[in-house]
Structure 1
Amino acid sequence: WRLSTQGEVQLRFAWKPSGESHQELQQRADTSGWLGGISSMFGGRVDQKRLQERGRLRVHLKDGKGLLAADLNGKADPYVKVGIDGREQASKVVKRSLEPDWNETLEFEGVLEEFLSAPLTLRVFDKDTFTRDDPMGDARVNLDRLRDEDSLDFVEAL
C-alpha cells in the first residue's frame, strides 16, 4: 500500500546481548562444557552461539527527510511503526513537519536468530485527529548483517 516513494528515514540498529543464550538457559544442567569449548576453538560454534543469544534489539529512529505533505497546511504529523518478529511499536508523533527529528529508541527483547529470520518493517504514518491515520510510505530492512556486527546504520528510502 505504498502511498509515496519520496522521503527517507535514517535509523541505527544495535544488538545488546544479555549474556546468556537461549540454548544455555534451556540446557544449563545438561551441558558438560568441554565439547563446546573444543568446538568453538576450531570455529564451529561461535556463529551459532551468537545466533542463540538473548538480548535486546535497539532501533534508534534518527529522523526523516523529504516526506510528502499529508495535511491541508502543507505539512504532516509523522510517526513510525516498527515491526519485527510479530511485534510492533510506534514512535512519538512529530507535529507539522516534513523533516521530523524523532531521536527515539525502540527496544525489542528476544533471540538474535529470531530477529534475523524476517525483515524489520518500517511504516510511516501521518497522525490525524478525526480520521484514520494516512500511510506515508514503508520499507523493509534485512538485519542479516547483525549476524556479525553489533550495530548498523541505515538510510531507508520510502
Structure 2
Amino acid sequence: PYVPSPPASAESPIKPGAGRPAAVGRIHATLPPARSSPRPACSAPIQCLEAGDSSVDKPVLYRPSAMASEPVLGKLSVRVVRGHNLVVADPLTHTSDPYVVLYYGSQKVKTSVQKKNVNPLWNDVLVLPVTNLTKPVKLEVFDADTFTADDSMGVAEFSVTDIYDAAKLDLKHASDGTRIKTIYPVGANYLGGESHVSWKNGKVVQDLILKLKNVDSGSVVLQLEWVHVVPGVTL
C-alpha cells in the first residue's frame, strides 16, 4: 500500500530541487544565456548600385531590428542623373572633378567621381531607407582633390513626402504615365523647375532639377523611385 511521505520539518529539511517539476529544469535548459549589455541597433543597409542594376526593380524585403528606434517606411532609390553648369573648382585646370553626396539622418552615400567635367553624367543609383518623413534628403556636390580637402560645389535638399504620399495610393488601374502631383519651385525649396510625381512602368517616380546654393551656378538632375519594403524578412 502507498504510504505518503512525512511533511517537511526542521528534522527533515527539503533538499535542493526536491518538489520542483522536472519540466522546469528542461525549460530553463532551453533559455538563451543572458546578455551582459543590450545589442546595439543595426543600422539600416545602404547600397550604391551601378546604373541599370536590375536589383532596383525587384521587391525589397526588410525586417527592422528589434532595437531600431524608428521603423523603416520604405526605400528611396535616387538616380543621380547629371549635373549642369557646375562651378569651376580648380583654377589651375579651369575645371572640376565632381561627385555628389546624399545625407539622410546619419546615412551618407555618394556617386562616382567624374573627372574634369562641369557637366557630368553620373547616372548612379543610391538607395536610402526612409524612417522619418520630416527629414529632408540633403545633397552636396564636391570637387575631388588628391592632396587637400574636397571643395564644396554647392548644396541642395528635397523632401520625401510627395513621393511617399503618392506611393500609398491605389494605382493598380492607373494608366502608364499618369501624373499624380506637380510641385512648383518656390522660395522655400531648391527646385529649378516643376517637379512631377508620376506612375511609370508600374512604379511611382519623381523627376527633380535641384538648383545648387552657396555657389554662382549649377544644378543637379535626379529621378526618385519609391521602393516598398516587406516586414518580416531580413535583407
TM range (shorter): 0.5 to 0.7
1:148 deviates by 2.4
Structure 2 vs 1, CA of residues 151 and 85 (structure 1 numbering), >3 Å: closer, same or farther?
Answer: farther
**Are the aligned partners of 1:16 and 1:57 in contact in 2 as well (CA < 8 Å)?**
no
Equivalent residue for 1:152? 206
Name the amino acid aligned to 2:135: A
Supply the AA of the counterpart residue of 1:152. Answer: Q
Map 1:1-158; keep pairs closer than 5 Å: 18=60, 54-71=73-90, 72-108=92-128, 110=129, 112=130, 114-149=131-166, 150-158=204-212
Q: Report the structure, 1 or 2, having the larger helix content.
A: 1
C-alpha deviation, 1:55, in angstroms: 3.6
Q: Which amino acid is 2:87 matched to?
A: L
DSSP-derived class of the 2:163 partner: helix
Q: Give how far 1:85 is off.
A: 2.7
Code of the aligned partner of 2:149: R
Letter in 1 for 2:133: L
Kindly state the Cα deviation for residue 57 of structure 1 after the two structures are TM-superposed. Answer: 1.4
Aligned CA distance change for structure 1 residues 156 and 68 (closer, same or farther; 3 Å): same
* RMSD, matched Cα: 2.6
Identity %: 33
Q: Using the TM superposition, give the Cα deviation of residue 115 of structure 1 relative to its aligned residue in structure 2, in angstroms.
A: 4.5
- The offset of 1:144, in angstroms, is 1.0
Aligned-partner residue type, residue 88 of structure 1: K
Q: Structure 1 length normalisation: TM-score?
A: 0.63
- Looking at CA atoms only, which structure, 1 or 2, has the larger radius of gyration? 2
5+ residue gaps, structure 2, are 1-55, 167-203, 213-235
Runs of at least 4 residues of structure 1 off by over 3 A? 14-22, 52-55
Amino acid at match of 1:116: L
Larger strand percent: 1
8 Å Cα contact 1:18-1:53 kept in structure 2: no
